[in-house]
Chains A and B, each alone.
Chain A
Amino acid sequence: MIKAEQKPMEEILRSIDPYKKILLSGCGACVTVCHAGGEKEVLLLASALRMARKKIGKPLEILEATPSRQCEPEYAQELSELSEKVEAILSLACGVGVQTLVRFFPKMPVLPGVNTTFLGETLSHGIWEERCQACGNCILEKTGGICPISRCAKQLLNGPCGGSSKGKCEIKKEADCAWQLIYDRLSSLGQLYKLEEIIPAKRWGIESRDSGLRRIIREDLKI
């Protein structure tokens, strides 16, 4: 799922500095799961922010809410009543959720409270790691299910760079070399022959971000 991390307190404080009354909105899905913006974090952050502002003599009033998922229009709209009572919204949802609110509350400043960090998985409780960069054309079938786009520092598609050493990446010494992982995995699956196929360079400009905003349209689903 989407993984996020709370922004530095100073940055949050700076962004809400002009306001006396805000809505702090969490999100009940991805960011709850990674303990960055669920109800628990909303209440903690709200309390901390109130204290920080109290200390500098500029008391802040905070309304607290945590819709189930901030990135769906219906859930976002649940906040409309509360939003009328405040000057700004601080959102602990990922960047998607923030922008859903932006879309529905055109006159309201909506500020991010977390850094949306990556699409990742839980390694063990409290440790998350990146797994996918939403490149738009998944090649996991060719790489034994290990993603070189997100896990290789250089996003190499056809084997490791010269810096791969003892199974570790030269850019981040504590990280496994993605290509070592790919090799090991294919070898244990008995599919090393897959390495012989050259993976063509990614067409970033067609499948991916470089061509501008991506959009999925399912004509059949449209109502």
Chain B
Amino acid sequence: MARIGIFIDTLKGTLPSSFRERIRTTLRDVPEVVFSVEEDEFTSETFERMLKLLEHEGVERVVIVGGSPKLYETTFQKLGFPLPFNPYLFTVANIREQALWSSIDEREASEKAKNAVLKAIRIASSLRPIESQTLPLKPEVLILGGGISGISIALTLARAGIYVFLVERERTLGGKVTELWKFYNQELEAKGWLEQKILELRQNPRISLLAPARLKYLRGHMGRFQATILTDKGEETTISPSAIVVATGYRVERKRGGIYDHKRMVTLSEMEKLLSETNPPFPFFEGKRVETVTYLLDDTNEDIKLDSINALKQSLLLQGSLKCQVAILCKEFKVSSDRMERLYRKARELGVLFFKYEEAPRFSLVNGQIQVEVKDTSILRKEDQWSVSILSDLVVLCETFLPHQETMELSALLRLHLGKRGFFMEDNPQLLRVRSNRRGIFIAGGCRFPQEISETLFEANAVAQEVLALLSKGAYTYDLSVAEVDPKKCALCYTCPRVCPHSAIEVEKYAEKNVYLTHHVPENTKWGAAKVDPASCFGCGICVGECPARAITLRHYPDEFIYIQMGLDG
């Protein structure tokens, strides 16, 4: 029989004494209870007193009777653990929020509290210590994608002393930025800026550049990934980074068919190129001066703001120094990026025309130019709305932003989740934007969400900080409050590796039961069953409920605790 010590938290005396008295009466009949004492609050002094008492009484389990367990869990995290033994050997009976405060009267409250206390004691009796483990982390990181995200993360990490393998599938670094001519909100020329970054990168001895190359296999988990990189010459290198950053960007696709194939219909990217090759005072297209340019911003890209940014950036120049007349037709113009409001006003002052449409504009060819007809709905009163017709030398279309074709394959290799549109998905859109669903793998830049450079750089920095925070201690310490497979019961059905949201389970290569994949088998593997990587497991228990063989247990939250709370015997 476990020896249990009870601390009743009076919550600074706010628990009525009559209520507390009832609880003590309950406790009197429980044989496991060695002592029950009251404390008015939990501070460092209380902790000292608790420690002495626990040691003196030889108690090995503690129940705190008082407020919500969340309260104590945070206090203890802050102040350190007041127990002379394993921190998992305590539990809480929540008799304030879920009894005293949520009952009709004190009698009902006492009934609920009694139930809660007795359950807590039963849980305490069956608590088992949960040990912690330490995983050494070498300062080595693999970055996939040498675009602006990949480059700036590599530089930040290398400056902080981390060895970086940068894998780029193309011959050149820079990704989309190489196709850019100017950044909308910076005075810099994209090319110069990029060249300087690449120079810095090549000079840094801690950065190994593998290009053109791609990831072929990935095995293992955080701290001991095994990544096989295949170069275009067919050479394979295997590296074992502690963490991985995915920064593979996105691709664009242009609209096709009918008039969209006409040569005077260009994309934002093609326009960008045209502008970078333009010598003032005028832009030329096929030897003829361009005087009117119409942008069509449709809603193919939903919440991605890049089209608006680009159209604005380009039209400022066209309407300003290049003496063109620019019109922008859009459903909505997205101005929520850095300094966009101001640029928008400037464009209007310069005379750029903005039209808002609902029905798709119509295009026709008139003497080699493109006639655009659109009904402007920016005026709210229907009667005042008018149709506009613009004869344009060029019509600029936006491209659709899409994940790279091989993203699916890459996500399967990395065992990462993809979001609805097929881009890599963050673990939590509000809190953990740069973490993936797997511990030790981060996602940055356009492969998660196409956005403009300053946001991309901001995010790249966030990723670098996360990686540094992880690796700076040289090790990752974690509790074994995780799922565990009983290899004798496992039927190798592959349910759990498929269902685990954090890709923390794999079927370990077989030694006893089956021999399927004989290469890459770590030596001495004697498992032959699904195996949880404890450093990668988040302890959610999803796999536990799914396993058809009931071979998985959640070490810190076994069936028993649930049955006890349900008021059943299990």
Contact = CB atoms under 8 A, between A and B. Distances in A.
B489 interface: yes
B552 to A, nearest CB: 11
A28 B486 CA distance: 13
Contacts of B493: 32-33, 35, 38
Contacts of A43: 550
Given A29-B491, A33-B494, A33-B548, 10 more contacts: A28-B491, A32-B549, A33-B491, A33-B493, A35-B548, A38-B493, A38-B549, A39-B489, A39-B549, A125-B495
B131 to A, nearest CB: 28
Nearest to A35: B548
Interface in A121-135: 122, 125
Interface string A46-66: 000000000000000000001
A32 B529 CA distance: 14
Interface in A85-126: 122, 125
**Best-buried of A38, A43, A66 by chain B (most CB within 10 Å):** A38
Contacts, number: 36
Interface in B513-566: 547-550
A32 B548 CA distance: 6
Contacts of B548: 32-33, 35, 38-41
Interface of B: 489, 491-495, 498-499, 547-550
B499 A125 contact: yes
Nearest to B495: A125
Nearest to A124: B498
23 contacts: A28-B489, A28-B491, A28-B549, A29-B491, A32-B491, A32-B493, A32-B548, A32-B549, A33-B491, A33-B492, A33-B493, A33-B548, A35-B493, A35-B495, A35-B548, A39-B489, A39-B548, A39-B549, A40-B547, A40-B549, A40-B550, A41-B548, A125-B498
Q: DSSP majority for the B interface?
A: loop
A154 B499 CA distance: 37
A41 B550 CA distance: 10
A38 B489 CA distance: 10
A201 B495 CA distance: 40
Nearest to A32: B491
Interface residues of A, number: 13
9 nearest A-B residue pairs (beta carbon):
A38-B548, A33-B493, A32-B491, A39-B550, A40-B548, A35-B548, A32-B548, A125-B498, A38-B549
**Best-buried of B492, B498, B549, B550 by chain A (most CB within 10 Å):** B549
Contacts of B494: 33, 122
A31 to B, nearest CB: 9
**Best-buried of B493, B547, B548, B549 by chain A (most CB within 10 Å):** B548
A40 B498 CA distance: 17
A33 B546 CA distance: 11
Contacts of A125: 495, 498-499
Nearest to B550: A39
Contacts of B495: 35, 125
A62 B537 CA distance: 36
A203 to B, nearest CB: 34
Contacts of B498: 125
A183 to B, nearest CB: 26
Nearest to A125: B498
A41 B548 CA distance: 7
A39 B498 CA distance: 19
Contacts of B492: 33
A39 B490 CA distance: 11
Contacts of A38: 491, 493, 548-550
**Best-buried of B492, B547, B550 by chain A (most CB within 10 Å):** B550
A66 B494 CA distance: 19
Contacts of A41: 548
Contacts of A29: 491
A28 B489 CA distance: 8
A16 to B, nearest CB: 22
Nearest to A33: B493
Contacts of B549: 28, 32, 38-40, 66
A28 B548 CA distance: 9
Nearest to A37: B548
A66 B490 CA distance: 12
Contacts of B491: 28-29, 32-33, 38
A101 B523 CA distance: 40
Nearest to A43: B550
A38 to B, nearest CB: 4
A191 B549 CA distance: 43
B546 to A, nearest CB: 8
Contacts of A40: 547-550
Nearest to A122: B494
A39 B553 CA distance: 14
A41 B499 CA distance: 18
Nearest to A28: B491
B113 to A, nearest CB: 31
Interface in A1-41: 28-29, 32-33, 35, 38-41
Contacts of A66: 549
B417 to A, nearest CB: 15
Contacts of A35: 493, 495, 548
A82 B277 CA distance: 86
A183 B550 CA distance: 43
Contacts of A39: 489, 548-550
B282 to A, nearest CB: 53
Nearest to B493: A33
Interface in A166-200: none
Nearest to B499: A125
A217 to B, nearest CB: 26
